[in-house]
Amino acid sequence: MAEKIEHYTDSIHYELEQTSRLMKMLGKQLFDKLEISITMDEYAALDTISINAGICQRDLAKILIKDRANTGRILDTLEQKGFITRFIDTKNNRLVKKMGITEKGYKELNFINNKIKHYFENVTHKVPEETWNKVQNVLKAFRLELEQMVETNI
């Protein structure tokens, strides 16, 4: 009797990767369709800064899982558009550049959230909310475990 081959394409890892790719594609298409003024990466950064006032670039890069150079380019664009402000502060007795969201940034974030909310709700409407909550909690636990195992060097 032949041994059953376990295929990567039958794994949870494959499903997560493909789902992530499709969500990125959907986000880009949605932002293009709605003519949103920033990219998905800029949106993720702006949203993260809005809930982490005074975050430094390195910590933001870790959250976004982006290298510091790419994060810096994203921040430059957000600052040029007037959505964030950067300032010098100290962290562990060292000077660091931190950032905060501006009033214009909050307005833009709320505008985008209101515009995209309906579209993302359509993606999840066929599954009960309690199921989504469970999926989100499981994915968060999985991500936190991965963060312990993956060397990000950011």
For position 114, what pLDDT does the model report? Answer: 94
- 55-56 and 94-101 strand pairing: antiparallel
pLDDT of the residue at 105: 98
Element (H, E) at 67: none
Averaged pLDDT, groups of 10, the chain, 154 residues long: 83 92 93 94 97 94 93 97 94 89 97 91 85 92 89 78
Q: What pLDDT, on the 0 to 100 scale, is given for residue 137?
A: 94
Q: Tokens representing 29? A: 């298409």
Cα gap 74→38, rounded to integer Å:
10
Contact 132, 119 (CB under 8 A): no
| CA dist., res. 12 & res. 3, Å (int) | 21
Q: Does domain 30-117 have CATH number 1.20.1370.20?
A: no
- The backbone torsions φ and ψ at residue 147, rounded to the nearest 5 degrees and listed phi first, read -60, -30
Q: Which residues pair with 86 in a beta bridge?
A: 99
Q: Which region holds residue 23: left if phi is over 0, alpha if psi is between -120 and 50, else beta?
A: alpha
pLDDT (0 to 100) of residue 21: 95
pTM of the model: 0.86
Q: Compute how many other C-beta atoms are within 10 angstroms of the C-beta atom of residue 94.
A: 8
124 within 8 A of 136, measured Cβ to Cβ? no
